[in-house]
A and B are shown apart, each in its own frame.
Chain A
Amino acid sequence: MAHEKLKDFSRRLEQTRQTQQDGASSRSEEGSALGLATRAITELVVGIAVAMGIGWMLDRWLGTKPWLMLVFMPFGFAAGVFNVMRLSKSKQAEELMGGGEDSKPAPPVIDEDED
């Protein structure tokens, strides 16, 4: 008796889940898109800021005022771009861009650009 009741319940639960699936998935997709966007932005900005900070501290320590900071800045920018590139190849990004394989053969091209 109790077993029957549970089976019925799980069937109804499955049905409800199915009907709610569509709305929920698009909303969670929007959420993860927002997550990826904030990750990419901070990666770029913080990259430059941290590299310049390291350079500035080394400058103060070695007394080479602006030079090390200027040397470190492009490296920080490059590190930020590296991280964003890595982010674009990550599982989350590929899922978001739809399948990854058939629709987006772009990532390898980026690799060639870098060389």
Chain B
Amino acid sequence: MATTTETGSGSEAAEGHNVIDPIHQFEIERIIPIKIGDLDLSLTNSGLWALVAVALVSLIMLLAPRQLVPTRLQSIAESLYELVFGMTEEVLGPPGRAYFPFIFTLFGFILAANLLGLIPGAFTVTSHIIVTLALALTVFIGATIVGFIRHGVGYLKLFVPEGVPKPLLPFVVPIEIISYFIRPFSLSIRLFANMMAGHMMLKVIAGFVIMLGLLAGWLPLMALVAIYALEVLVAVLQAYVFALLTSLYLNDALHVDH
């Protein structure tokens, strides 16, 4: 186990050798320090893995050959494309095609970041709430702008659902407004919490394997393999859910009368 912390104090790092620390994997470390004025623009492990994720998706999508009988790489690229295209088509319909590139880019980045994080020793970009919140706020602000451009003030009708009796409106409208502003947070917290909890669980159980050793360590090891498989599912699923909710929110922006 490589427990070399440049950032932590020396004594802490020395103590942490035998103690299993499930939080350590989320620590941000500067790889190439860059400072411009007061701005800290250092390339961190998080930034590095985000770049790796971008490179991975771009390579898969760009290098995939376009043959009639697909190669393995082309199959990966095509099934990813078809998955997201089918989903946006189902939720948004033909007018949503303009937003497909954005949704597919989001999906590709999150999927790559989630899956790369499962490589032992890698950093999980999406396990930090600041990253997922930035993505979710982009979606939220973007969808709100689209809504106002499309419908003008009429977009506010979203907060007044049809068929609600007048006396209930003072209660329903605030609830609708709050449920609108919940969106970026539920979107980001779901992704971040899933990734962080999964990785912490893996670390804790991996710690049990080491603590129990050869005698009884195989038991948590079996659990670890099962949980790892589950985490692969969660990584793909949460990327898909993020893309699905993005298109649902865009759908609200495109069709208010709903």
Chain A residues with a Cβ under 8 A of chain B:
6, 9, 31, 34-35, 38-39, 42-43, 45-47, 49-51, 54, 72, 75-76, 78-80, 82-83, 91-92, 115
Q: A31 touches which one: B68, B178, B181, B233 (CB < 8 A)? A: B233
Q: A80 touches which one: B182, B238, B241, B244 (CB < 8 A)? A: B182
Q: B241 touches which one: A35, A51, A75, A91 (CB < 8 A)? A: A35
Q: Quote the shortest CB–CB distance from A41 to chain B (angstroms).
A: 8
State the majority secondary structure of interface residues on B.
helix
B194, A50: Cβ atoms closer than 8 Å: no
Please, how many angstroms separate the alpha-carbon atoms of A109 and B237 in the complex?
A: 31
Chain B residue nearest to A42 in the complex (CB): B190
CB neighbours (8 Å) of A38 from chain B are 190, 194, 238, 241
B179 lies within 8 A of chain A by Cβ: yes
Q: Quote the shortest CB–CB distance from A86 to chain B (angstroms).
A: 9
- How many contacts between A and B, using CB within 8 angstroms? 69
Q: Using known A-B contacts A39-B190, A42-B190, determine if residue A34 contacts B68 with beta carbons closer than 8 Å.
A: no
B193, A42: Cβ atoms closer than 8 Å: yes
Chain B residues with a Cβ under 8 A of chain A:
68-69, 90, 165, 171, 174-176, 178-179, 181-182, 185-186, 189-190, 193-194, 233-234, 236-238, 240-241, 244-245
Between A and B, 10 residue pairs with Cβ closer than 8 Å are A35-B237, A35-B240, A38-B238, A46-B189, A54-B181, A78-B175, A79-B175, A79-B179, A80-B179, A83-B182
CB neighbours (8 Å) of B245 from chain A are 39
B186, A43: Cβ atoms closer than 8 Å: yes
CB neighbours (8 Å) of B234 from chain A are 34
Please, how many angstroms separate the alpha-carbon atoms of A72 and B194 in the complex?
A: 27
Q: Quote the shortest CB–CB distance from B187 to chain A (angstroms).
A: 8
Please, how many angstroms separate the alpha-carbon atoms of A9 and B68 in the complex?
A: 11
CB neighbours (8 Å) of A54 from chain B are 178, 181
